[in-house]
């Protein structure tokens, strides 16, 4: 195999792995942020449950104060009743006492209801706190994992960077320039050619180019996508049956004339 071709194939593997690792490293902080956001939701749930308990207690204190107020009124009405002059005045005071007693009874009912819901509200606080505790432990674990993964990736990236420099130093300049140009546009610069087609864009290769390509002794580029092509004899298909004249005409029509420096046409969807 042409030594430049061999090194470019190796260089592409290094570049693509480095790209994958770089994307992974940049994605990890986002993942950590997402888990922290989830944790914040659990913290908010605990706060909300605690607030319910607090509001329950406040309502109960208010009702207890109301009861005290009504009781004081009753005492006052009873003491006034001993000094009233008429039956009407007395009845009016007793009516006030009755009203205050009804109010007290209503407050007591409400206190009972609050005490019952307090029980479930306190259970909800405990459940939310337990969930938060579990979630916090998970988050710490995931954050630690993300830190380890980042450190590993960065170490691998440093190794790849070194290998990349070494490989690039040994490749012919014009081949390297072409490689860089395609890599920038396509995110892959090398493609296998199989069955007389570029396996990245599936455009047919001209028969003469195909014959040259099969030796792997030259740098051959795809006339359509610009990728540097190589041939893997292990993927050689079994000899085809004799072609019909109709099919021959079709493959000639599909073949694209390559140029010395092919223009890189935009590609609708990545094929690799």
Minimum gap (Å) between residue 229 Cβ and Zn ion: 7
Minimum gap (Å) between residue 212 Cβ and Zn ion: 16
Minimum gap (Å) between residue 245 Cβ and Zn ion: 28
By CB under 5 A, residue 213 contacts Zn ion: no
Stretch that binds Zn ion, among 100-108, 164-172, 190-198, 256-264 (CB under 5 A): 190-198
Binding to Zn ion, residues 193-212 (CB under 5 A):
198, 200-201
Identify the burial level of 231 via C-beta atoms within 10 angstroms of its C-beta, where 0-12 means exposed, 13-18 middle and 19 or more buried: buried
In the chain, where does DSSP find H-type helix?
Answer: 3-81, 87-170, 173-186, 207-213, 245-254
Q: Which is nearer to Zn ion, 122 or 192 (CB)?
A: 192
Count of residues interacting with Zn ion (CB under 5 A) = 6
Q: Which is nearer to Zn ion, 18 or 200 (CB)?
A: 200
Identify the burial level of 172 via C-beta atoms within 10 angstroms of its C-beta, where 0-12 means exposed, 13-18 middle and 19 or more buried: middle
Minimum gap (Å) between residue 135 Cβ and Zn ion: 49
Stretch that binds Zn ion, among 28-36, 58-66, 102-110, 223-231 (CB under 5 A): 223-231
Of 271, 176, 194, residue with least CA distance to 232: 194
Q: Which of 222, 230, 231, 264 binds Zn ion (CB under 5 A)?
A: 222
Q: Which is nearer to Zn ion, 209 or 224 (CB)?
A: 224
Backbone angles phi, psi at 197, to 5 degrees: -135, 150
Check: CB of residue 224 under 8 Å from CB of residue 201. Answer: yes
Backbone angles phi, psi at 164, to 5 degrees: -65, -45
Minimum gap (Å) between residue 191 Cβ and Zn ion: 6
Report the 10 Å Cβ neighbour count for 140.
12
By CB under 5 A, residue 25 contacts Zn ion: no
Minimum gap (Å) between residue 228 Cβ and Zn ion: 10
By CB under 5 A, residue 225 contacts Zn ion: yes
Structure tokens at 250: 């079709």
Q: How far apart are CA 214 and CA 211, in angstroms?
A: 5
Binding site for Zn ion (CB under 5 A): 198, 200-201, 222, 224-225
């Amino acid at each position: 195999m042409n030594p430049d071709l061999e090194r470019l194939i190796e260089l592409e593997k290094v570049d693509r792995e480095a790209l994958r690792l770089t994307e992974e490293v940049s994605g990890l902080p986002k993942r950590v942020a997402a888990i922290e956001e989830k944790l914040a939701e659990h913290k908010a749930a605990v706060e909300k449950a605690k607030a319910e308990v607090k509001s329950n207690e406040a309502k109960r204190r208010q009702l207890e104060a109301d009861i005290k107020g009504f009781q004081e009124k009753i005492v006052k009405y009873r003491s006034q009743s001993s000094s009233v002059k008429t039956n009407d005045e007395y009845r009016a005071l007793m009516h006030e006492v009755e009203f205050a007693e009804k109010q007290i009874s209503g407050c007591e009912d409400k206190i009972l209801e609050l005490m019952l819901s307090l029980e479930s509200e306190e259970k909800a606080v405990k459940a939310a706190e337990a969930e938060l505790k579990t979630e916090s432990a998970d988050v710490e674990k995931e954050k630690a994992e993300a830190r380890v993964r980042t450190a590993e990736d960065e170490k691998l990236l440093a190794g790849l960077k070194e290998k990349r420099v070494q490989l690039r130093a040994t490749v012919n300049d014009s081949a390297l320039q072409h490689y860089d140009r395609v890599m920038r546009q396509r995110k892959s610069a090398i493609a296998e050619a199989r069955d007389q087609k570029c396996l990245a864009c599936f455009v047919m290769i001209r028969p003469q180019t195909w014959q040259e390509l099969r030796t792997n002794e030259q740098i051959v580029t795809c006339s359509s996508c610009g990728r540097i092509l190589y041939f893997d004899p292990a993927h050689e298909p079994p000899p085809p049956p004799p072609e019909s004249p109709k099919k021959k005409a079709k493959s000639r029509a599909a073949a694209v004339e390559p140029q010395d420096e092919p223009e890189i046409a935009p590609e609708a969807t990545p094929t690799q």
